[in-house]
Structure 1
Amino acid sequence: MTDKGCRLQLEYYEGQLLLSMNDRTSVHQGNDFDCRTELQRSDRAYIRDFSIGENQLFMLGNKENAFDVWDYPRPSFL
């Protein structure tokens, strides 16, 4: 890997906190923002950016043509 250090991005969306760090993205929810799920890139490439659209999470990696789409875990309201 040519990049050094930690790549961190934080976003709040519909009651959930999304944290992207290096090759992982975690989704936190609730009063204490407990970790609900964690996603990791299979190629271990850094995540340069991510975006949420409807029910999908789009991630752009630092390698050429590194783009992932995951079903986005929707918040569960009690």
Structure 2
Amino acid sequence: MKSTGKRFWSVTPAVGPLAAVLLVTVGATFFLNRIVFYIALAAAALAVAFAVWRLSRMNRDIRRYLTRVADGLDQTEQAA
């Protein structure tokens, strides 16, 4: 089965606005307290990077999980 990347884009719209809200909130702390801003900026950058990394690996993880489930089934259950 050829992967077209459609699954990735079906999940991304949920993460995109949340990341934007996170960055706007971090940006608002710039005017309140600079020390908190730099700490929050580093934490937000790590969180967004981790989310993008996990989204990019999601298709492979799902395929691996389904393969393990299929290995536990006998031939008649796999055909169903």
Q: TM-score range by the shorter chain?
A: under 0.3
Higher RCO by CA contacts (8 Å cutoff, separation 6 or greater): 2
Richer in helix (by share):
2
The TM-score normalised by the length of structure 2 is 0.26
Richer in strand (by share):
1
The TM-score normalised by the length of structure 1 is 0.26
**Larger gyration radius, structure 1 or structure 2:** 2
